[in-house]
Structure 1
Amino acid sequence: MSLLSDLVNLDLSDTTEKIIAEYIWIGGSGMDLRSKARVMCDTYTPAGDPIPTNKRCNAAKIFSHPEVVAEVPWYRLVHANSKLFKFNPGPYYCGIGADKAFGRDIVDSHYKACLYAGINISGINGEVMPGQWEFQVGPSVGISAGDELWVARYILERITEIAGVVLSFDPKPIQGDWNGAGAHTNYSTKSMRNDGGYELIKKAIEKLGLKHKEHIAAYGEGNERRLTGRHETADINTFLWGVANRGASIRVGRDTEKAGKGYFEDRRPASNMDPYVVTSMIAETTLLWKP
């Protein structure tokens, strides 16, 4: 674990004009990451068409639309992931102590490495299942949210590789009375963040409800095993929203309701979702779609 220790103690104050570039790309399954020297980029066929797994291309078109650009969409992606251990249910959420927190050295190393790489990582915490952790990326504007989450995933894969630990983005890695793993997506537009924005938030949520099936189909493979109506989820076939309701499809915070402006949280995306698809789809439905 000495390499992990080196990452935890990484000095973020040093600067250098030299960089190591490594190409990172999303493999054929849409979830496997590969690399050969570090740069995240779009991928195209020799004819110039985006390859099937290049979801960034369409997302970039949506985020470059004038109506979307004008609203400066903010995202904060709350990404759960699991390091696989076997334990009984217990007080693991935000837990501390050797009997509750498993893999903290990995999580702390990941946080430091993301900061060093310039990722806008903004938080970490232990989740409900032992060995399950969450990190947050954002607030990020538009396409940057997808870019940053994919690179943060890559960094996490490399760190768990060093640690010899199996990493899972499966939305329900352990069956039974356990929470699944989601990628809750916090979202707001410029108008929602301004006075009177709560009314626009409610209109946006109404639009998302009308396209619930389309969003569910794009929100991650195997999500039906997670969205059961239990373990702080809404049933996959039902759309509902509420204030401070963790069992809803869309949750609005109490502070947003009280202030009359702010953001909302789409709790439906699975931990294996493609952030380019999810973020651009939310923007397209709420800003460009005219029902």
Structure 2
Amino acid sequence: MTFKAEYIWIDGTEPTAKLRSKTKILPGAPAGLAELPLWGFDGSSTNQAKGHASDRVLRPVFVCPDPIRGGDDVLVLCEVLNTDMTPHSSNTRALLAEVEERFAAQEPVFGIEQEYTFFAGERPLGFPVGGFPAPQGGYYCGVGADEIHGRPVVEAHLENCLAAGLGISGINAEVMPGQWEFQVGPLAPLEVSDQLWVARWLLYRTAEDHEVSATLDPKPVKGDWNGAGAHTNFSTRAMRGGAGAYDAIITACESLGEGSKPMDHVKNYGAGIDDRLTGLHETAPWNEYSYGVSDRGASVRIPWQVEKDGEGYIEDRRPNANVDPYVVTRLMVDTCCAALEKAGQV
């Protein structure tokens, strides 16, 4: 008896990493994470090594059922190590693990809204050959073949994520034709990041079967069209309830705007961020920081229900669709939790 394990990893392509995967046939029944073996790969073909010393190591960090192949087969997300078992320079997960452990007592939780765009060849799905569709307006959460494009892929992807046991919490059509969103969370930082990477892999793989491609390009069509983001919702135990919860929310918002923090974050929120964060299309300018209640033109939004209840979460609206979730969660935990700790709001 054997089963197939699809080993998935994040490569070293810059400025935006790509997903890679390959299949390992393993004997016996499906193994738990601890029983899955290390595996090697050619790092010189993934921008993670030079040819004269090309071996790199895959260490499993997350495993789930493989909904594409079914049966006993599994998907195995891996982190990349050097041959001395130290984290590779492209391994952003290792940095997040350190920060999450440091602030574990605050119980940080994230929900990430992953926007993406389908393409058929060189055109976004739903864009006519040699022209443009009607202006934005009816596409967001719309229905009907005249305005909605790609729903069969979206539904198949949703079913695949659910069958894999991922913490996907919703889907919707977005503002531009062929543009969609799924949400992962609420989950702890490593969990939400691992599962978002697997959900991205499943998106690309599902789209293959429908002969379309999915892109996380933050500005897939220039001009008067919305970009694609990964709005990142964040809270800690102190923000979610109890005396002083709303004060803790304000502390978190203020901390993201202190000193060099806005630029430290934005420059790590995905390549091409200045093309998307223009101050138009429900964005704040990339080089200005602001926060506000129910304000989708602010850098950070406090939902109206959160203000009403006096507890809840904040939404950082700046991250691009192509952001590395290990990076955005690390930065937000490091900045906000340190500020909350300093203020005694833990």
Whichever residue aligns with residue 209 of structure 1, its letter is G
Distance 1:104 1:73 in 2: 33
Unaligned stretches of 5+ in structure 1? 1-17
1:89 equivalenced with 2:151 (yes/no): no
Distance 1:145 1:136 in 2: 10
- 2:17 is matched with 31
SS of structure 2 residue aligned to 1:24: strand
Question: What does the per-residue CA deviation read over 1:44-63, in whole Å, with 9 as the maximum and x for residues that have no partner?
Answer: 00122211221000001111
- 2:249 is matched with 201
Indicate if the aligned counterparts of 1:72 and 1:142 stay in contact, CA closer than 8 A.
Answer: no
Bigger strand fraction = 2
Of 143, 151, 157, which aligns to 2:190? 143
- State the Cα distance separating 1:212 from its structure 2 match: 0.3
Question: What does the per-residue CA deviation read over 1:64-121, in whole Å, with 9 as the maximum and x for residues that have no partner?
Answer: 11xx211111100001000123223231000000011100011111110001011000
Distance 1:34 1:170 in 2: 18
Distance 1:261 1:126 in 2: 29
1:247 equivalenced with 2:297 (yes/no): yes
1:42 equivalenced with 2:79 (yes/no): yes
Of 179, 188, 204, which aligns to 1:132? 179
Q: Choose 1 or 2 for highest CA Rg.
A: 2
Indicate if the aligned counterparts of 2:252 and 2:336 stay in contact, CA closer than 8 A.
Answer: yes
Distance 2:161 2:281 in 1: 30
What TM-score does the superposition give when structure 2 sets the normalisation length?
0.76
Of 149, 156, 159, which aligns to 1:102? 149
Distance 1:204 1:78 in 2: 20
Indicate if the aligned counterparts of 1:81 and 1:132 stay in contact, CA closer than 8 A.
Answer: yes
Whichever residue aligns with residue 175 of structure 2, its letter is V
- 1:166 is matched with 213
- 1:13 is matched with none
SS of structure 2 residue aligned to 1:21: strand
- State the Cα distance separating 1:254 from its structure 2 match: 0.8
Number of residues of Structure 1 aligned to a counterpart in Structure 2: 272
Indicate if the aligned counterparts of 2:10 and 2:79 stay in contact, CA closer than 8 A.
Answer: no
- 1:268 is matched with 318
- Structure 1: which 4+ aligned runs deviate by more than 3 Å? none
Bigger helix fraction = 1
Distance 2:225 2:89 in 1: 34
Moved more, 77-86 or 19-28: 19-28
- 1:10 is matched with none
What TM-score does the superposition give when structure 1 sets the normalisation length?
0.91
Q: Which has the higher contact order (CA 8 A, sep 6+)?
A: 1
Question: What does the per-residue CA deviation read over 1:232-277, in whole Å, with 9 as the maximum and x for residues that have no partner?
Answer: 0000011001000000000001111011110010000000000000
Whichever residue aligns with residue 89 of structure 1, its letter is P
